[in-house]
């Protein structure tokens, strides 16, 4: 009987070790499968992040080039502004206006019209009308006397008195 107990003990020991080995094998296979799935997900995430990094690098390079272009254009614009300020400092507009107002007005309107046309051509805008100039630069047909107020006539040179219509 002792042999039988010993045989049962050895068989149960072998069965227990076999069952433990089977449990270890199935749990290991399940872990391997989970790790393989996670590895595939990580590979996809790494590819996406590498694409994002490359895109960010290319955008940074593009932005740096655009920034350089804008800096050059800004320097040109500042130089033009400095040049314009220097030219205006050299001009004595008050003396010009006193001596020959009509000539100064014509030059100013001509320069303004030229500048307006340049702005319109650079921005790609067009008025669609017959003139590219704004209404305040277009010559107007006037009626009446030479004063700015064409609807009233005054015999008096006193500007403090106004006449009601």
Residue 16 inside a domain? The answer is: yes
- Total domains in the fold of the chain: 1
- Its domain, for residue 42, covers 12-72
pLDDT band at 14 (very low <50, low <70, confident <90, very high): very high
Quote the pLDDT of residue 71. 96
Residue 65 inside a domain? The answer is: yes
Asked whether 163 and 152 are in contact (CB, 8 A), the reply is: yes
Residue 142 inside a domain? The answer is: no
pLDDT, tens digit, 9 for 90 and up, residues 81-111: 999 888 878 777 777 778 888 888 888 888 8
Residue 81 inside a domain? The answer is: no
In our burial notation (b when 16+ CB lie closer than 10 A, e otherwise), range 118-131 reads eeeeeeeeeeeeee
Angle at 163 between CA 160 and CA 165, to 5 degrees: 155
Enumerate residues 6+ apart whose C-beta is below 8 A from 103: 96
Residue 34 inside a domain? The answer is: yes
Residue 162 inside a domain? The answer is: no
Residue 122 inside a domain? The answer is: no
Q: Per-residue pLDDT averaged across 5-11, rounded? A: 91
Residue 18 inside a domain? The answer is: yes
pTM of the complete model? 0.43
């Amino acid at each position: 009987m002792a042999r039988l107990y010993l045989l049962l003990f050895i068989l149960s020991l072998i069965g227990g070790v076999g069952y433990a080995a089977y449990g270890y094998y199935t749990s290991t296979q399940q872990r391997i499968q989970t790790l393989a799935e996670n590895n595939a997900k990580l590979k996809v995430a790494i590819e996406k992040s590498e694409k994002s990094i490359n895109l960010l690098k290319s955008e940074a390079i593009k932005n740096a080039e655009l920034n350089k272009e804008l800096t050059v254009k800004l320097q040109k614009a500042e130089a033009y502004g400095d040049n314009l300020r220097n030219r205006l400092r050299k001009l004595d507009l008050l003396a010009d206006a006193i001596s020959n107002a009509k000539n100064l007005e014509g030059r100013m309107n001509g320069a303004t019209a030229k500048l307006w046309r340049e702005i319109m051509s650079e921005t790609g805008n067009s008025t669609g009308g017959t003139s590219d100039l704004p209404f305040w630069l277009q010559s107007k047909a006037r009626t009446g006397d030479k004063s700015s107020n064409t609807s009233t006539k005054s015999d008096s040179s006193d500007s403090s008195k106004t006449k009601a219509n």
